[in-house]
Structure 1
Amino acid sequence: MAKKLEKTIDQDLTLLADTLDEVLQSAGNKSKDELDKIRSKAEGVLRDARSRFNGETLTKHAREAAATANDYVKDNPWYGVGAGAAIGIVIGVLLGRR
């Protein structure tokens, strides 16, 4: 699930960057009608990206990711213990450097 969300975010950011790049490159040599068309396209892409990643959607994805992680730890408890120990060691080393 997290990979799917990450891929979607990457695609949206790439599309936004490409559209912005098109607007910036063509601003000097396009007619007003063509600029209005490009601007409308950019606004549409931005609106779609915002609607897909509003607070509700991100909260839903975060809950699904947490549920998936919870299920994984329940199915593989020793991996969870190992990860917790590793994180504890890292934090201990970092705090010990003070």
Structure 2
Amino acid sequence: MGITSKAETVLNSGLEDARYAGRRAARAARLANGDVSARVRDLLDDLEHALSNAKSASDVEALRAEIGDKLRQARSDFGDVRANLRRRANEVWEEADGYVHERPWQTLGAVAAVALVLGFIAGRS
């Protein structure tokens, strides 16, 4: 096995690890986005239902209390989602940072390969 084959193997391994970490980060973002979207839709549906059922002044007060409760719950839920997304992003960042520190030459090779490809693409434009 020549130097070129070894370098290619190391580079492919490094790129595959980087792709894996990127896919994990993207999946976490998609899950968080879907969760937030579903919660917002549920909140809006609940509010629309409550507004359509309000008939008298006492209903308005009950509606105001119900809306306040739902908004407090939504704020709490969104805070939980944000904290979960931040935790997941930190995990991916720590994994990437550890990879760079454990394999600096592979990382340098991967960055050089990406820069070479981007330079080639930019040069053709």
Bin of the TM-score, shorter chain as denominator length? 0.5 to 0.7
In the alignment, structure 1 segments of 5+ residues that lack a partner are none
Counterpart mapping for 1:38-57 below 5 A = 38-50=67-79, 52-53=81-82
**Residue of structure 2 in register with 1:90 after alignment:** 118
- The reply to whether residue 12 of structure 1 matches residue 36 of structure 2 is yes
Between the two proteins, the alignment pairs up a number of residues equal to 93
Name which one, 1 or 2, has greater alpha-carbon Rg: 2
Give SS of 1:53's match.
helix
Letter in 2 for 1:29: N
User: Counterparts of 1:12 and 1:53 in 2: how far apart (Å)?
Assistant: 9
TM alignment of 1:62-73, pairs within 5 A? 62-72=89-99
Label 1:23 to 1:72 Cα distance change in 2 as closer, same or farther (>3 A): same
Secondary structure class of the residue paired with 2:52: coil
| CA shift digits 1:8-56 (9 cap, x unpaired) | 44323311221123213442333321453144213321233135526xx
Percent identity at matched positions?
Answer: 15
Moved over 6 A (4+): none
Relative to structure 1, the CA distance from residue 94 to residue 23 in structure 2 (aligned partners, 3 Å threshold; closer, same or farther) is: farther
SS in 1 for 2:97: helix
**Structure 1 residues 84, 47: closer, same or farther in 2, change over 3 A?**
farther
Bigger RCO of structures 1 and 2 (CA < 8 A, at least 6 apart): 2
**Contact 2:47 2:67 (8 Å CA) reproduced:** yes
Over aligned residue pairs, what C-alpha RMSD do you find?
Answer: 3.8
Give ranges in structure 2 of 5+ residues lacking alignment.
1-23
